[in-house]
Amino acid sequence: MSNLYRSALSARIAKLPADLGPAEDGVDEETDSLGSLPGSGMGPPAMQVSHFHPHYFGLSFAIEGLPYTAFQVALPGRNLDSRVYYTPPGEAQKGASQTVMILQHGAGYSGLSFACMAKEITDLSRGECGVLAIDARRHGRTASTSETPDEDLSIGVLVDDFVDVIQTIYGDIEGSPTLILVGHSMGGSIVTRACPKLLDKKYKIGGVAVLDVVEGSAIEALPHMNNLLNARPDGFDSVEEAVEWHVTTKAIRNPTSARISIPNIVKPSESSSLNVPPFVWRTTLRSTAPYWESWFLGLSSSFLSVRTARLLVLAGTDRLDKELMIGQMQGKFQMIVVPGTGHMLHEDDPTRLAEIMVDFWRRNERLVVGIKKVGEK
């Protein structure tokens, strides 16, 4: 790590909330070891790769300048050591409060799936808007501190984890920044249900954004999930192969983002069996099946009832369920479709998603008092 980067990192750490746990010097050597992204514009168009080449996918290919610091946040009451990736907000303009976007990933992924989008948000807002991405329970680098780890991933548990992370980091509610809650897929359900709890605790919520999840479509897809999971490999011979698989199958269409996010969702296998690949998934999606229904049932009504601005971003013209269709006709939320992306739309086109999120922030956070926010009743 260069002296210049150390100095910049120290300056960011000095701006962190006082009750956030001690910062790491840089990031994990195993898979979070990132250098600097080459400027802005991290996709798409993605590189068209016809075969694997370590120059494109290898971890040795430096990625520098990601504007976050990785931290572990202790949640003793929940027997959890939660990983977060934090970019503190810069100085707010006169008369405005600081704003931080809180990002929650989808099932099987981690906070690093937002890495490229976070950099674009920082660039587009000129550092004014902060970003905090959280690894959920049993995901990424969040770890249980209990001798008998709690495997429960029901929506109530995930929401309470999310709220507890925010309360631990922003213990001073009056002095805390305005929060914009952003969730992808499963994460969309978490932030939507967490919003009323945070509002009841008097946190300032500037809006809720849900990325590529609709209750009706999600519930209809559940019976077919096992067939989809059967098409996934049980593991990989290397981290590079895991990155390659995601890009070549178009699970993630942006190689730059894939080689940042994918190393955090696989881990070395602990099995000595020759039948088990050297690298396996950190979160086995099949093991989360008992909780799928709890994640999505009631999502539409929860989303429409939150007392703040609402944004739904979809990768395609997903069919809205009846409740959302009526809500859209009544102007209860803003909806944007991002063509040319898949389910991981924030990785496929981080620049466009950042533009959408920064615009959402600007249109709502900076409105004159008394004017309704986008999607607000």
Q: Which of 82, 125, 176, 185 is catalytic?
A: 185
Q: Rounded CA gap, 245 and 233, in Å?
A: 9
Q: 97 vs 102, 163, 179, 206, CA distance in Å?
A: 16, 21, 10, 11
Q: Which residues of the chain have pLDDT under 50?
A: 1-16, 18-19, 21-64, 368-371
What is the number of alpha carbons within 13 Å of residue 144 lying toward its C-beta?
10
Tokens (6 digits) for 25: 């010097």
CA distance linking residue 121 with residue 131, whole number of Å: 8
Instruction: Answer yes or no: 343 catalytic.
Output: yes
> Which letter, b or e, does each residue of 302-328 get, where b requires 16 or more Cβ atoms within 10 Å of its Cβ?
bbbebebbbbbbbbeebebbebbeebb
Return the closest-CA partner of residue 11 out of 19, 23, 1: 23
- Which residue in the list 135, 212, 348, 349 is annotated as catalytic? 212
* Residue found under tokens 């009544």: 330
At 354 the pLDDT is 97
- Is 212 part of the annotated catalytic residue set? yes
User: How many CB atoms sit inside 10 A of residue 338's CB?
Assistant: 19
pLDDT of residue 320: 87
Predicted pLDDT at 318: 64
Q: So what's the pLDDT on residue 377? A: 53
Point out the catalytic residue in the list 32, 343, 348, 349.
Answer: 343
Task: Estimate to the nearest angstrom the gap between the alpha carbon of 75 and the chain centroid.
Answer: 19
Integer Cα distance of 287 and 268 in angstroms: 18
Question: Looking at residue 66, what is its pLDDT?
Answer: 64
Query: What are the beta bridge partners of residue 181?
Result: 102, 208
The residue extents of the domains of the chain are: 3-365
Dihedral of alpha carbons 271, 274, 280, 285, sign: negative
| Mean pLDDT of the residues in the chain | 83
Classified as helix, coil or strand, 196 is: helix
Tell me, what's the pLDDT at 213?
A: 93
Q: CATH fold of 3-365, please? A: Rossmann fold (3.40.50)
Structure tokens at 72: 């572990």
